[in-house]
A and B are shown apart, each in its own frame.
Chain A
């Protein structure tokens, strides 16, 4: 029987989760090891974000468990199929996040707070891919960044980095 832990979100919702799933988070793992985790583990993460975090952790958990159980025969094909499945799942996951940037950044901050390096890298890469190759105006529009430079200041900076604005 797997050991279960109760996680409490900042808005007081309780999530029952298997130990193996939440131990991917170094922060929670430490809390458990330090014995601070009797009863509910309080987290500074909203229920909506926590649900998303756990969705990710469960998917990662499946992946590692399946790999362990593999025997050698026919592994290559199976791995390929699995990779495809994971890709598909990740694509769906990223599309949802791209559509709702608030969730994306809540999740990014949560992955930093919970110390989930794999999720953090995945999300940073996601944001980087959104930014890459775009002109400043497009990036500002995408993330609602307010341009607080005067036109003169902006012109001076653009001129200084002329090479980067070449097509």
Chain B
């Protein structure tokens, strides 16, 4: 692209012009929207143009915390906040207002309520405000009757409101409740009655997302809404019953509360005792269900799950159930169960399940497919902290997974002999299973194997020639010493077919051979790796090289023996890099060593 010199000069000359103030309002406001409140407010003092931009800025925020940072006395802080609110109210242009947020730090009082109500009413009655976020702190005493009562105008006249977030405070008694444009509704720590919450949901014909967090005052949640897509309930401790008719609902999350009961070793959870739907189509769009810290009896759990004919993902976390109802989950693709309490058997009939994750859980739990069904589509199985997984139950579980591709096992305490026979398995991860002593892997298509734990045998390995194996021997008590050398030797022989073999031990990483550990206790001829090194080794990485005799011996050995060696990477230790003469000496020495491989390339890092 040619640059026009004349124009470049001209533009240089006018560089003194104030371009930012000449931007149209909406672009200046766009820039302001990317700044924190403090910086936005500061721009108002730049010039009259910027004062105008600030007064017409459509996002209006008042946060008492700004004043708390200047003044930690509650009374003074409140006085300053009120004064600021009053002043701004008289100057800011409500006609432009799209978002209003008021947040307080100290409990409400008469003056505050009066101003907040005035401010909210002016904003709502202009009919332009799209987002309202109120957080009016309650007094420290727990009596609901002392909480700030949300003004009627929000419930009766907020025609333009798209997003409503209410925190702390309480709902009063309202005759008219209507939110014709509302899409997102969040209530946090709000006291609200059965009737008001029911009306809010039913009279919001556009609402898509509803979040109720730590709200109280209602025990039954009636959700009758044809549009609602996402329902999130967190810690609403009094809630026990549901009545639902929400045919578009796609995501439903219900987090209860964990109750620690005195004298009971098991924790208790919020119990849901009733779950009713209007008809068979009431929840037919639900694809994702997440339950945590809840307790469900068999009947409620059954009526809940059978109202979700199209359920695809199910996450059950820290909850108490007796059993999974014996219904067929035809669409279910993903299940995660974490620390759930079940009766002894967890049986599933989910013919299309692709991923099953089981974490923790009580000791007696046994996970298995429902008799006769099998996990015939299961591709990914992840078992983490599954205490009661025995060799036998693993074998049975795996035999029902005929197309399994990924198997991930972590902290399965009872597993001693890992036996995996699968023609479809591609990835296998075995992580910190403390009792494991031996593994037999017959998986001709296995391309990735990762093992983390103490040194175990893998007495029989039959895998794909493309295998990328990583063995992490983590043993805090002793290094790989004499005792385990023989094991290591066997192990390497068993992985002879692997394309890449990485062995990592106690913080030192190496490929094929860990020089840090090998050099300490034995001379290399003792470790009979000749075959492996001669015929397979293609790449070696030596880290933290400091040129001691053992390491030089190792390098000599590798270069002499490895016929297929392609690259040898040597990265020097920090001390050595500080002594350039010594370093240069080592480099020239290594380069001149005899090499068995004609194409070996040595790189120094």
Contact = CB atoms under 8 A, between A and B. Distances in A.
Contact of B48 (A100, A132, A149, A161): A149
B7 A11 contact: yes
Interface stretch (B65-73, B329-337, B394-402): B65-73
Contacts of A116: none
A14 B240 CA distance: 70
Contacts of A163: 38, 41, 66-67, 69-70, 80, 84
Given A105-B23, A127-B31, A163-B84, A146 B47 contact: yes
A51 B1 CA distance: 7
Contacts of B23: 105, 108-109
B18 interface: yes
A159 to B, nearest CB: 10
A162 interface: yes
B45 A128 contact: no
A58 to B, nearest CB: 11
A101 B87 CA distance: 36
A122 to B, nearest CB: 11
A13 B406 CA distance: 58
Contact of A120 (B8, B30, B42): B30
B15 A100 contact: yes
Contacts of A101: 15, 19-20
In this complex, the interface size class of chain A, counting residues with CB under 8 Å from chain B, is 35 or more
Interface in A139-157: 139-140, 143-149, 154, 157
A135 B42 contact: yes
B42 A164 contact: yes
Contacts of B84: 160, 163
Interface string A85-107: 00000000000000011111100
B41 A161 contact: yes
A103 B11 CA distance: 8
Interface string B78-95: 001000100100000000
A19 interface: no
B50 A145 contact: yes
Contacts of B7: 11, 46-48
Which of B4, B18, B19, B39 gathers most chain A CB within 10 Å? B19
Contact of B36 (A48, A132, A140): A132
B21 A145 contact: yes
B322 to A, nearest CB: 41
B579 interface: no
In this complex, the interface size class of chain B, counting residues with CB under 8 Å from chain A, is 35 or more
Contacts of B35: 128, 131-132
A145 B47 contact: yes
Contacts of B49: 148
Contacts, number: 117
A16 to B, nearest CB: 11
B143 interface: no
A144 B46 contact: no
Interface string B1-42: 101100110010011111111111001001110111111011
| Interface majority SS (helix, strand, loop, mixed), chain B | helix
A105 B14 CA distance: 13
B16 A144 contact: yes
B460 interface: no
B44 interface: yes
Contact of B38 (A48, A112, A164): A164
Contacts of B69: 163, 166
Given A163-B69, A163-B84, A102 B15 contact: yes
Contacts of B470: none
A136 B46 contact: yes
A134 B66 CA distance: 18
B535 interface: no
Contacts of B39: 131-134, 164
A48 B3 contact: yes
Contacts of A136: 42-43, 45-46
B27 A108 contact: yes
B15 A145 contact: no
A128 B43 CA distance: 11
Contacts of A160: 84, 87
A148 B48 contact: yes
Contact of B70 (A132, A158, A162): A162
A161 B19 contact: no
A158 B45 CA distance: 7
A105 B43 CA distance: 18
B30 A124 contact: yes
A165 B47 CA distance: 16
Nearest to B15: A102
Interface of A: 11, 46-48, 51, 100-105, 108-109, 112, 120, 124-125, 127-128, 131-136, 139-140, 143-149, 154, 157-158, 160-166
Interface of B: 1, 3-4, 7-8, 11, 14-24, 27, 30-32, 34-39, 41-51, 66-67, 69-70, 80, 84, 87
18 contacts: A11-B7, A48-B4, A101-B15, A102-B14, A102-B15, A108-B23, A108-B27, A124-B27, A132-B36, A132-B39, A139-B43, A143-B19, A144-B18, A145-B21, A148-B48, A157-B44, A163-B41, A166-B69
